[in-house]
Amino acid sequence: MLAPLSEGWPGEERLLELGLASLARWDDFAAELDAFAAGIVTSRSTVTVAVDEADARDLSRIRDWLADQGHPVGALSRAELRDAEPELTRALRPGFSADAERAVDNRRLLKALTAACHASGVQRIAERVTDIDVLPHEQVVVAAGAWTGKLVKGAPVRPVKGEVLRLHRRNGAPAPPTRTVRAWVHGRHVYLVPRAHGLVIGATQYEAGFETQVTAGGVRDLLADAEAIFPGISEYGFAECIAGLRPATPDNMPLLGRIDERVTLAAGHGRGGILLAPLTADAVVAELSGAPLDETKHTNPRRFS
C-alpha cells in the first residue's frame, strides 16, 4: 500500500511528509517499470472505514489531524461508500477516502526492478555477506532490512513480524473491492488490497524477533476482521499465508544517509518500504553524489548515537 495519509498517525508528522514526498514520485516510477512488468499498480484510491463508534472516533481524530497538517482527505457518507463499494458490509461507519493513494503488486514490482537492473547493466551477485569491512568496494550501501543491525553495529533496526493472507476469487464469488480498504475493527487494523484474481489481507503485528512462523490466531483474526468488512470473502479460495519481517526503528523513521565516508544506510523503513522506494533510491544517489536531499534531513542514521 502506498498510503501515507491512511496510515498517518498524530505525532508522526515527519513520517507523513516523507511518505507524501515519495508518493509524489510513484506514478512516474511505476510508468518507467511498466515496460518490464505490466500491472504493478492494482488500485488508485483508499477508503478507510470503521466497524463501531469507538473505531469511528479514532478515524475522526486522524482525519482532523490530517486537515491540521494541511492534507484534508475526502469525507465519505454511508451512501457514498455503498455506491463506491457495494459489496462491503452496509453497517460500516465510513471514515474518509484518499484518492491520491495507490496500491501495488509487490511481486510484480520486484520482477520489474530485477529486469530493469539487468537491462541497465547492474551485476547481481548472490552471496551471503556477514562483514562489510571485508568488501573490496569503495562505496557500500547497506539495505538489509531487518538484518541491518547484523551488518552495521549499533544500527537501531529491529524485526516486527507481520502475517498476510492471499485469497483467490472463485467462480460466482462477489467481486473484490476496487479500492484498497483499510478498516478499524474493534481497535484492530485490517486492510483488503485488490489483486487481479483476488485479495491480499493483512496484517498482524508482533514483536517476535526473527521468528516467521504463521500462527493460527493470526489467520483467525485476519479472516474474522476481513469478513466483518467484506462478507464475500467466505466464498473465496485460500491461496497463501506468509509472515514477513518489517524493519522498524525507535521513532518509526527510516535510516537514510551516510554513517561514514564509505557506508550509506538505506534501512529501517518499517511498514513503508515500498511506499518509500523511489524516494530512497533518489536519496541514496544524492548521498553518493555528495548532495543529500533536503527531504531526508530528518533521517540521519546517526541521530540515535
d(CA 266, CA 248): 12
pTM score over 0.85: yes
Answer whether residue 257 is part of any domain. Answer: no
Query: What is the DSSP code (8-state) at residue 2?
Result: B
pLDDT tens-place string over residues 99-153: 999 999 999 999 999 999 999 999 999 999 999 999 999 999 999 999 999 999 9
**What CATH number did the domain enclosing 222 receive?**
3.30.9.10
Answer whether residue 149 is part of any domain. Answer: no
- Determine the average pLDDT of the residues in 285-305: 95
pLDDT at 75 over 90: no
Answer whether residue 25 is part of any domain. Answer: no
Answer whether residue 127 is part of any domain. Answer: no
d(CA 2, CA 166): 18
SS3 220: helix
pLDDT at 305 over 90: no
d(CA 45, CA 193): 10
Helix boundaries (H) for the chain: 13-33, 53-68, 78-84, 106-119, 148-151, 216-229, 277-289
Answer whether residue 294 is part of any domain. Answer: no
pLDDT tens-place string over residues 225-250: 999 999 999 999 999 999 999 999 99
As beta bridge partners, residue 258 has 264
Distance of CA 146 to the CA centre of its chain: 15
Distance of CA 62 to the CA centre of its chain: 18
Strand 46-50 and strand 180-185: the pairing is parallel
Domain count, the chain: 1
pLDDT band at 196 (very low <50, low <70, confident <90, very high): confident
Which residue matches cell numbers 555528495?
290
Answer whether residue 90 is part of any domain. Answer: yes
The 263-267 sheet, strands edge to edge: 140-142, 263-267, 255-258
Answer whether residue 293 is part of any domain. Answer: no
Q: What pLDDT does residue 284 have?
A: 98
- Determine the average pLDDT of the residues in 162-189: 95
End-to-end CA distance of the chain, in Å? 32
Answer whether residue 238 is part of any domain. Answer: yes
pLDDT band at 283 (very low <50, low <70, confident <90, very high): very high
Which residue matches cell numbers 517499470?
33
- CB neighbour list of residue 284: distance below 8 Å, 6 or more residues apart: 141, 256, 264, 266
Residues of the domain holding 239: 46-98+159-248
Q: What pLDDT does residue 293 have?
A: 96
Contact 88, 229 (CB under 8 A): yes
Q: What pLDDT does residue 203 have?
A: 87
pLDDT at 95 over 90: no
Q: Is the dihedral of CA 40, 220, 224, 247 positive or negative?
A: negative
